[in-house]
Amino acid sequence: MEHFVAKQRLYWRCCSSIIAAQSSVLSHRTFYLHSPTLARRKGCENAEVIDAAEVSPLKRTKPHAVEENVISVLKFSKLSEHATAPTRGSAKAAGYDLFSAYDYSIGPMDKAIVKTDIQIAVPSGCYGRVAPRSGLAAKHFIDVGAGVVDEDYRGNVGVVLFNFSKETFEVKKGDRVAQLVCERICYPDLQELKTLDETERGAGGFGSTGSN
Protein backbone atom coordinates (compact mmCIF):
# COMPACT_ATOMS: atom_id res chain seq x y z
CA MET A 1 0.00 0.00 0.00
CA GLU A 2 2.78 2.42 0.94
CA HIS A 3 4.49 1.62 -2.36
CA PHE A 4 1.29 2.54 -4.27
CA VAL A 5 0.92 5.83 -2.37
CA ALA A 6 4.55 6.73 -3.13
CA LYS A 7 3.93 6.12 -6.84
CA GLN A 8 0.83 8.33 -6.77
CA ARG A 9 2.77 11.15 -5.11
CA LEU A 10 5.55 10.87 -7.68
CA TYR A 11 2.95 10.96 -10.50
CA TRP A 12 1.31 14.13 -9.22
CA ARG A 13 4.69 15.80 -8.70
CA CYS A 14 5.57 15.10 -12.34
CA CYS A 15 2.21 16.49 -13.51
CA SER A 16 2.70 19.63 -11.43
CA SER A 17 6.17 20.15 -12.89
CA ILE A 18 4.87 19.80 -16.46
CA ILE A 19 2.03 22.25 -15.85
CA ALA A 20 4.39 24.75 -14.23
CA ALA A 21 6.82 24.48 -17.15
CA GLN A 22 4.05 25.03 -19.70
CA SER A 23 2.74 28.02 -17.75
CA SER A 24 6.23 29.49 -17.65
CA VAL A 25 6.67 29.10 -21.41
CA LEU A 26 3.26 30.62 -22.06
CA SER A 27 4.02 33.50 -19.71
CA HIS A 28 7.35 34.16 -21.38
CA ARG A 29 5.82 33.93 -24.82
CA THR A 30 3.04 36.33 -23.90
CA PHE A 31 5.52 38.75 -22.36
CA TYR A 32 8.02 38.56 -25.17
CA LEU A 33 5.24 39.00 -27.68
CA HIS A 34 5.32 42.68 -26.80
CA SER A 35 9.07 42.87 -26.22
CA PRO A 36 11.09 40.67 -28.60
CA THR A 37 14.24 42.66 -27.85
CA LEU A 38 13.95 41.89 -24.14
CA ALA A 39 13.50 38.20 -24.96
CA ARG A 40 16.88 38.11 -26.68
CA ARG A 41 18.44 40.20 -23.92
CA LYS A 42 17.29 37.64 -21.33
CA GLY A 43 18.95 34.87 -23.27
CA CYS A 44 15.76 33.12 -24.34
CA GLU A 45 17.15 32.12 -27.70
CA ASN A 46 14.63 29.29 -28.07
CA ALA A 47 11.64 31.48 -27.24
CA GLU A 48 9.24 31.98 -30.09
CA VAL A 49 9.43 35.71 -30.68
CA ILE A 50 6.46 37.27 -32.47
CA ASP A 51 6.33 40.88 -33.52
CA ALA A 52 3.30 42.52 -31.92
CA ALA A 53 2.72 44.46 -35.14
CA GLU A 54 1.75 41.19 -36.83
CA VAL A 55 -1.09 40.44 -34.42
CA SER A 56 -2.27 43.83 -33.22
CA PRO A 57 -5.67 44.71 -34.74
CA LEU A 58 -4.71 48.38 -34.58
CA LYS A 59 -1.55 47.70 -36.59
CA ARG A 60 -3.47 45.63 -39.12
CA THR A 61 -5.70 48.58 -39.94
CA LYS A 62 -2.80 50.90 -40.74
CA PRO A 63 -2.24 49.70 -44.34
CA HIS A 64 -5.81 50.77 -45.13
CA ALA A 65 -5.10 54.20 -43.69
CA VAL A 66 -2.06 54.46 -45.95
CA GLU A 67 -4.19 53.53 -48.97
CA GLU A 68 -6.61 56.33 -48.13
CA ASN A 69 -3.73 58.81 -48.22
CA VAL A 70 -2.58 57.78 -51.69
CA ILE A 71 -2.62 60.82 -53.98
CA SER A 72 -5.57 60.68 -56.39
CA VAL A 73 -5.22 62.08 -59.89
CA LEU A 74 -7.92 63.80 -61.95
CA LYS A 75 -6.94 63.29 -65.58
CA PHE A 76 -8.16 65.54 -68.38
CA SER A 77 -7.63 66.12 -72.08
CA LYS A 78 -8.36 69.18 -74.24
CA LEU A 79 -10.65 68.50 -77.18
CA SER A 80 -9.91 71.77 -78.97
CA GLU A 81 -7.74 74.86 -78.81
CA HIS A 82 -10.66 76.67 -77.17
CA ALA A 83 -10.43 74.59 -73.99
CA THR A 84 -9.00 75.92 -70.73
CA ALA A 85 -7.40 73.59 -68.19
CA PRO A 86 -9.35 73.25 -64.92
CA THR A 87 -7.86 75.19 -62.01
CA ARG A 88 -8.38 75.51 -58.27
CA GLY A 89 -8.64 78.83 -56.47
CA SER A 90 -6.59 77.57 -53.52
CA ALA A 91 -4.73 74.46 -52.39
CA LYS A 92 -7.68 73.29 -50.28
CA ALA A 93 -10.48 74.33 -52.63
CA ALA A 94 -13.04 71.53 -52.97
CA GLY A 95 -13.56 71.89 -56.71
CA TYR A 96 -11.74 72.63 -59.94
CA ASP A 97 -13.11 75.60 -61.90
CA LEU A 98 -14.54 74.75 -65.32
CA PHE A 99 -14.28 77.27 -68.16
CA SER A 100 -16.51 77.93 -71.14
CA ALA A 101 -14.93 77.17 -74.52
CA TYR A 102 -17.31 79.48 -76.43
CA ASP A 103 -19.53 82.55 -76.16
CA TYR A 104 -23.17 82.07 -75.14
CA SER A 105 -26.20 84.28 -74.53
CA ILE A 106 -28.74 82.91 -72.03
CA GLY A 107 -32.06 84.73 -71.97
CA PRO A 108 -34.14 85.42 -68.85
CA MET A 109 -35.60 82.20 -67.36
CA ASP A 110 -33.77 80.21 -70.03
CA LYS A 111 -30.97 77.64 -70.06
CA ALA A 112 -27.98 76.60 -72.16
CA ILE A 113 -25.49 73.75 -72.27
CA VAL A 114 -22.09 75.39 -72.05
CA LYS A 115 -19.31 73.28 -73.56
CA THR A 116 -15.91 73.18 -71.88
CA ASP A 117 -14.19 71.17 -74.65
CA ILE A 118 -12.42 68.99 -72.11
CA GLN A 119 -12.88 65.33 -71.24
CA ILE A 120 -11.97 63.97 -67.84
CA ALA A 121 -11.18 60.68 -66.10
CA VAL A 122 -12.03 60.90 -62.41
CA PRO A 123 -10.12 58.77 -59.87
CA SER A 124 -11.31 55.19 -59.43
CA GLY A 125 -14.27 54.95 -57.07
CA CYS A 126 -15.31 58.55 -57.67
CA TYR A 127 -17.69 60.56 -59.81
CA GLY A 128 -17.49 64.20 -60.79
CA ARG A 129 -20.18 66.54 -59.46
CA VAL A 130 -20.60 69.72 -61.48
CA ALA A 131 -21.53 72.31 -58.87
CA PRO A 132 -22.51 76.00 -59.11
CA ARG A 133 -20.07 78.80 -58.46
CA SER A 134 -21.25 80.88 -55.52
CA GLY A 135 -20.35 84.14 -57.28
CA LEU A 136 -22.59 83.46 -60.28
CA ALA A 137 -25.46 82.37 -58.05
CA ALA A 138 -25.26 85.36 -55.70
CA LYS A 139 -24.61 88.08 -58.29
CA HIS A 140 -26.46 86.89 -61.40
CA PHE A 141 -29.00 84.23 -60.28
CA ILE A 142 -27.19 81.62 -62.38
CA ASP A 143 -27.54 78.00 -61.30
CA VAL A 144 -26.18 74.66 -62.51
CA GLY A 145 -28.26 71.55 -63.20
CA ALA A 146 -27.80 67.86 -64.06
CA GLY A 147 -24.21 67.86 -62.86
CA VAL A 148 -23.02 64.24 -62.70
CA VAL A 149 -19.96 63.00 -64.59
CA ASP A 150 -19.71 59.20 -64.33
CA GLU A 151 -16.38 57.45 -63.85
CA ASP A 152 -16.54 55.88 -67.31
CA TYR A 153 -17.73 59.01 -69.19
CA ARG A 154 -15.24 60.30 -71.75
CA GLY A 155 -17.29 62.87 -73.65
CA ASN A 156 -17.14 66.65 -73.76
CA VAL A 157 -17.98 67.98 -70.30
CA GLY A 158 -20.98 70.27 -70.66
CA VAL A 159 -22.41 72.55 -67.99
CA VAL A 160 -26.17 73.14 -67.88
CA LEU A 161 -26.64 76.79 -66.87
CA PHE A 162 -30.03 78.15 -65.77
CA ASN A 163 -30.62 81.89 -65.88
CA PHE A 164 -33.19 82.76 -63.20
CA SER A 165 -32.71 86.50 -63.57
CA LYS A 166 -34.78 88.98 -65.59
CA GLU A 167 -31.86 89.91 -67.84
CA THR A 168 -29.88 88.11 -70.53
CA PHE A 169 -26.69 86.61 -69.17
CA GLU A 170 -23.61 86.68 -71.39
CA VAL A 171 -21.03 83.92 -71.16
CA LYS A 172 -17.67 84.68 -72.74
CA LYS A 173 -15.02 82.23 -73.88
CA GLY A 174 -12.71 81.55 -70.93
CA ASP A 175 -15.30 82.48 -68.27
CA ARG A 176 -15.56 80.26 -65.21
CA VAL A 177 -19.03 78.71 -65.32
CA ALA A 178 -18.99 75.92 -62.71
CA GLN A 179 -16.74 73.82 -60.51
CA LEU A 180 -16.02 70.11 -60.61
CA VAL A 181 -15.94 68.27 -57.27
CA CYS A 182 -14.71 64.66 -57.11
CA GLU A 183 -16.74 62.62 -54.64
CA ARG A 184 -16.51 59.01 -53.48
CA ILE A 185 -19.29 56.69 -54.60
CA CYS A 186 -20.37 53.08 -54.05
CA TYR A 187 -21.88 50.79 -56.67
CA PRO A 188 -24.45 48.66 -54.78
CA ASP A 189 -26.21 45.67 -56.29
CA LEU A 190 -29.96 46.05 -56.74
CA GLN A 191 -32.28 43.74 -54.79
CA GLU A 192 -36.07 43.76 -55.11
CA LEU A 193 -38.10 42.85 -52.01
CA LYS A 194 -41.83 42.52 -51.44
CA THR A 195 -41.66 44.74 -48.36
CA LEU A 196 -38.97 46.77 -46.60
CA ASP A 197 -38.26 47.00 -42.89
CA GLU A 198 -40.30 49.52 -40.91
CA THR A 199 -38.68 52.67 -39.52
CA GLU A 200 -39.81 55.25 -36.99
CA ARG A 201 -39.96 57.90 -39.70
CA GLY A 202 -41.85 55.79 -42.20
CA ALA A 203 -43.08 57.68 -45.27
CA GLY A 204 -42.70 61.14 -43.74
CA GLY A 205 -41.01 63.64 -46.05
CA PHE A 206 -41.12 67.14 -47.47
CA GLY A 207 -40.63 68.91 -44.14
CA SER A 208 -42.46 66.33 -42.01
CA THR A 209 -39.70 66.36 -39.39
CA GLY A 210 -39.88 70.12 -38.76
CA SER A 211 -41.74 73.34 -39.40
CA ASN A 212 -39.92 74.03 -42.67
The 10s digit of each residue's pLDDT in 118-157 is: 999 999 999 999 999 988 989 999 999 989 999 999 999 9
Give strand pairing partners of 184. Answer: 126
Q: Alpha-carbon distance 99 to 120, whole Å?
A: 13
Position 203 scores a pLDDT of 85
Buried b vs exposed e over 33-52: b needs ≥16 C-beta within 10 Å?
beebeebeeeebeebebeee
Q: Measured on CA atoms in the order 44, 45, 47, 51, is the torsion positive or negative?
A: positive
Quote the pLDDT of residue 170.
97
CB 185 within 8 A of CB 127: yes
- Rounded to whole angstroms, how far apart are CA atoms 59 and 51? 11
User: Dihedrals φ, ψ of 129, to 5°?
Assistant: -105, 120
DSSP assignment of 116-177: --EEEEPPTTEEEEEE--HHHHHHH-EEEES-EE-TT--S--EEEEEE-SSS-EEE-TT-EE
Nearest to 94 by CA among 52, 130, 70: 130
Of 186 and 137, the structure prediction assigns the larger pLDDT to: 186
Residue 48 pLDDT > 60 = no
- For residues 189-200, one letter each, b for 16 or more C-beta atoms within 10 angstroms of the residue's C-beta and e for the rest, the string is eeeeeeeeeeee
Please check whether residue 168 is in contact with residue 107, taking contact to mean a CB–CB distance below 8 angstroms: yes
pLDDT in tens, 56-80: 555 554 444 445 556 789 999 999 9
